[in-house]
């Protein structure tokens, strides 16, 4: 009964979304306040209905109600509670419901906190959100109903895919979706601006925090996914340029560009049309990502959605929304007036360069991801586009961008002084090269390119801090004044510095691991030793074990340095009983920022076992940098200026910031 209520709530949510999609727009056209106000209530009701529906599905999972087909297919009564809950979105139907839930949740937030938005803008934005919500609710109801029943109900479920039974899965998809779907709000604002034919100050002030929030979540989701793959796959890779990864990386690149162009728009009223276009493109890439992952177009053996009706339905959604938005843009963009003049060498100019390179990078990833599909469809020829292609093209594009990053915040708005900024960054560049030299000495040599990469990373970090140091006047004025100035800086200045420094940290991690990691593959018997990263591992033997829904074999290693035992590592292989599926649980030990990574291979006939040992120098920098970037996003988001409720203080703070910058 409760299951049917959940299903029915979803139907009601679709009906509500349809009302919200049509009436407020009509209200905005006719200046009918009652109709416009309907949008907010409808958004709230819709969010409650979908939340109820989602709770019902979660309830079915928690109580292992195998009369629900979706639960039977993806759950097992012996599964730990956390994986019963995360199993809700560990499958196609449930994850689409989560997508919808987050979408309507964001609409509800706009409805709740958008009190000081212009009435017509708010009504139109909520209507556009409802178009998306209605499309996805219809998709779920028609092709991916998670509430379908099984008669008779089986006694036991088929269990969730073992690789997905991990804390990483509990967190990764919701974070990723918060990012993906967060950009829907920017999209709706962009479409609303095009429908209304104007953009005002409220528009920019609303779009920037949404972009920041979505970007922060997406960064978290991608970093989380990367770390999950690293420890779960058992071969120590952390990025594969896999189409599904690319699907989340493209909106991230476009979103990063949007973040920066929205900045120009908010501060200087320039790049309006471009920002609108970018907002549309970013969410289009999110939709495309959903399509690529959900439709199974990438591969015929995709475990999620092999049913072509779903693919065609999502493709239709894709065509309608992306095509519709771009047509609207083509028709109406000329109505939006652009303002804000600037010289080529200026902060605006730097941000334009940022946008140019980031969108090119996103387009390159997009081309590389879709090219084999399109080529095969058109000519029947099969080619592969893999990591070596992306590393080369993407790397070449990022190089000039990374060099330019510290320049951005140091250049003045309108007209900047390139030579002056270059002089101020001299310290950062010198420190970078010095660190690289020390690294060279410590590592007893190393590839020149890798050392330059390390230098670039350090230059990014020091360059980001240079901005704060200069603005506070540290070293030029008395310490107490500098401190006062530093604490008076707007939070967004710290946010920028953190995000840019985080980029440097990630770069250092990537370069160090790529250039200096070591891999040892050996066949070991108990008592044998292997060296890695200055440590010695002794293999002590294997042990059999049993978990709630799996059996495992664990290898035990003692790690020593200079003959002194420092720690131990357990590395295991699991066999999940319900699906007879094996997984590797790599043994990982952290030493500072570096890690020892041990994974087990095949047992040999003579009693030995193949053991792989990796030394991953500075690997934690990769995700640590992402964490710092996210912190930057959160700090920026807490800036008073971005709180729409505080317009007066905002202007003064902005004035102060400009004063401090000069």
Sites of contact with other proteins (CB under 8 A): 161, 163-164, 225, 228-229, 232-235, 237, 240-245, 293, 298-299, 301-304, 338, 341, 344, 352, 356-357, 359-361, 363-364, 367-368, 371, 375, 379, 381-389, 392-393, 396-397, 521-523, 573, 575, 580-584, 599, 601-603, 610, 612
By C-beta, is 348 or 639 nearer to other proteins?
Answer: 348
Residue that has been written with the tokens 């509990």 in this structure: 170
Compute how many other C-beta atoms are within 10 angstroms of the C-beta atom of residue 345: 17
By C-beta, is 66 or 576 nearer to other proteins?
Answer: 576
* Residue 340 CB, nearest approach to other proteins (Å): 9
Residue that has been written with the tokens 């030029």 in this structure: 476
Taking alpha carbons only, the member of 235, 37, 231 closest to residue 127 is 37
By C-beta, is 237 or 534 nearer to other proteins?
Answer: 237
* Residue 541 CB, nearest approach to other proteins (Å): 18
* Residue 292 CB, nearest approach to other proteins (Å): 10
CA dist 630 to 183, 210, 402, Å? 16, 14, 18
Q: DSSP E strands: which ranges in 469-515?
A: none
In eight-state DSSP terms, residue 116 is T
Tokens standing for 44?
């709230």
* Residue 392 CB, nearest approach to other proteins (Å): 7
* Residue 269 CB, nearest approach to other proteins (Å): 13
By C-beta, is 356 or 477 nearer to other proteins?
Answer: 356
d(CA 557, CA 591): 16
* Residue 653 CB, nearest approach to other proteins (Å): 29
By C-beta, is 298 or 505 nearer to other proteins?
Answer: 298
d(CA 308, CA 393): 33
Residue that has been written with the tokens 């989560």 in this structure: 98
By C-beta, is 534 or 582 nearer to other proteins?
Answer: 582
* Residue 330 CB, nearest approach to other proteins (Å): 16
- Cβ contact 345:415 at 8 Å: yes
CA angle centred on 280, ends 277 and 285, rounded to 5°: 125
* Residue 500 CB, nearest approach to other proteins (Å): 22
Torsion of CA 143, 148, 152, 155, to 10 degrees: 110
- Cβ contact 278:355 at 8 Å: yes
The torsion angles phi and psi of 420, rounded to 5 degrees, stand at -60, -45
* Residue 588 CB, nearest approach to other proteins (Å): 15
* Residue 393 CB, nearest approach to other proteins (Å): 5
Compute how many other C-beta atoms are within 10 angstroms of the C-beta atom of residue 434: 12
- Cβ contact 199:276 at 8 Å: yes
d(CA 256, CA 278): 10
Phi-psi region of 541 (alpha: psi -120 to 50; beta: other; left: phi over 0): left
By C-beta, is 381 or 662 nearer to other proteins?
Answer: 381
Q: In DSSP terms, which residues pair with 538 in a beta bridge?
A: 529, 558
- Cβ contact 556:543 at 8 Å: yes
By C-beta, is 59 or 240 nearer to other proteins?
Answer: 240
- Residue 448 burial by CB count (10 A; 0-12/13-18/19+): exposed, middle or buried? exposed
* Residue 338 CB, nearest approach to other proteins (Å): 8
Whether omega for the bond prior to residue 152 falls within 30 degrees of 0, making it cis, is yes
By C-beta, is 34 or 301 nearer to other proteins?
Answer: 301
CA max distance for the chain: 84
Angle of helix 347-379 relative to helix 243-268, nearest 10 degrees, comes to 150
* Residue 44 CB, nearest approach to other proteins (Å): 33
By C-beta, is 384 or 648 nearer to other proteins?
Answer: 384
d(CA 412, CA 421): 9
Strands 609-616 and 564-576, by their bridges, are: unpaired
By C-beta, is 307 or 523 nearer to other proteins?
Answer: 523
By C-beta, is 120 or 571 nearer to other proteins?
Answer: 571
- Residue 390 burial by CB count (10 A; 0-12/13-18/19+): exposed, middle or buried? buried
* Residue 245 CB, nearest approach to other proteins (Å): 5
By C-beta, is 44 or 581 nearer to other proteins?
Answer: 581
- Cβ contact 545:551 at 8 Å: yes
């Amino acid at each position: 009964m409760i299951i049917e209520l959940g299903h029915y709530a979803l139907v009601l949510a679709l009906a509500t979304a349809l009302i919200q999609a049509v009436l407020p727009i009509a209200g905005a056209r006719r200046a009918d306040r009652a109709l416009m106000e309907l949008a907010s209530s409808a958004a709230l009701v819709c969010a409650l209905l979908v939340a109820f529906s989602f709770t019902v599905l979660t309830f079915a999972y928690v109580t292992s109600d195998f009369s629900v087909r979706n639960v039977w297919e993806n759950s097992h009564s012996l599964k730990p509670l956390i994986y019963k809950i995360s199993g809700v979105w560990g499958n196609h139907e449930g994850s689409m419901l989560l997508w919808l839930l987050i979408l309507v949740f964001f609409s509800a937030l706009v409805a709740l906190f958008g009190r000081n938005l212009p009435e017509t803008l708010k009504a139109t934005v909520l209507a556009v959100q409802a178009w998306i919500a209605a499309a996805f609710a219809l998709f779920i109801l028609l092709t991916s109903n998670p509430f379908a029943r099984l008669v008779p109900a089986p006694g036991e479920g088929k269990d969730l895919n073992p690789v997905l039974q991990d804390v990483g899965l509990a967190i990764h998809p919701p974070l990723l979706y918060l990012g993906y779907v967060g950009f829907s709000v920017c999209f709706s604002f962009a479409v609303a601006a095009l429908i209304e034919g104007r953009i005002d100050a409220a528009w920019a002030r609303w779009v920037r925090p949404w972009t920041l929030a979505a970007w922060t979540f997406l960064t978290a989701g991608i970093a989380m996914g990367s770390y999950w793959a690293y420890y779960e796959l058992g071969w120590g890779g952390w990025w594969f340029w896999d189409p599904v990864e690319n699907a989340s990386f493209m909106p991230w690149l476009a979103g990063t560009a949007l973040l920066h162009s929205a900045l120009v728009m908010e501060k200087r009223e320039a790049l309006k049309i471009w920002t609108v276009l970018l907002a549309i493109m970013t969410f289009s890439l999110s939709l495309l990502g959903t399509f690529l992952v959900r439709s199974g177009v990438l591969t015929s053996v995709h475990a999620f959605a092999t049913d072509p009706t779903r693919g065609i339905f999502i493709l239709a959604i894709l065509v309608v929304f992306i095509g519709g938005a771009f047509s609207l843009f083509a028709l109406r963009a000329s109505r939006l007036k652009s303002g804000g003049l600037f010289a080529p060498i200026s902060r605006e100019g730097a941000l334009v360069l940022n946008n140019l390179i980031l969108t090119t990078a996103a387009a390159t990833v997009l081309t590389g991801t879709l090219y084999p599909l399109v080529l095969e469809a058109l000519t029947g020829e099969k080619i592969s586009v893999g990591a070596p292609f992306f590393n080369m093209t993407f790397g070449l594009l990022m190089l000039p961008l990374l060099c330019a990053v510290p320049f951005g915040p140091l250049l003045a708005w309108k007209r900047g002084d390139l030579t002056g900024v270059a002089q101020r960054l001299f310290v950062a560049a010198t420190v970078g090269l010095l660190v690289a030299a020390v690294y060279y000495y410590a590592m007893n040599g190393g590839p020149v390119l890798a050392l330059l990469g390390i230098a670039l990373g350090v230059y990014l970090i020091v360059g980001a801090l240079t901005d704060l140091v200069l603005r506070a006047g540290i070293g030029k004025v008395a310490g107490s004044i500098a401190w006062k100035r530093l604490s008076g800086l707007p939070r967004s200045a710290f946010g920028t510095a953190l995000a840019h420094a985080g980029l440097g940290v990630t770069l250092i991690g990537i370069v160090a691991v790529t250039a200096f990691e070591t891999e040892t593959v050996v066949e070991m018997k108990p008592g044998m030793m292997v060296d890695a990263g200055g440590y010695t591992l002794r293999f002590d033997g294997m042990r059999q074990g049993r978990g709630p829904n799996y059996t495992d074999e664990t290898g035990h290693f003692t790690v020593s340095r200079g003959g002194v035992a420092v720690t131990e590592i357990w590395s295991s292989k699991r066999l999940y009983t319900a699906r007879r599926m094996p997984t590797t649980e790599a043994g990982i030990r952290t030493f500072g920022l570096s890690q020892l990574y041990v994974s087990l291979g095949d047992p040999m006939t003579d009693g030995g076992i193949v053991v792989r040992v990796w030394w991953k120098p500075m690997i934690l920098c990769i995700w640590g940098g992402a964490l710092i970037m996210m912190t930057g996003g959160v700090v920026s988001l807490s800036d008073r200026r971005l709180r729409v409720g505080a317009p007066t203080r905002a202007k003064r703070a902005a004035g102060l910031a400009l004063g401090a910058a000069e």
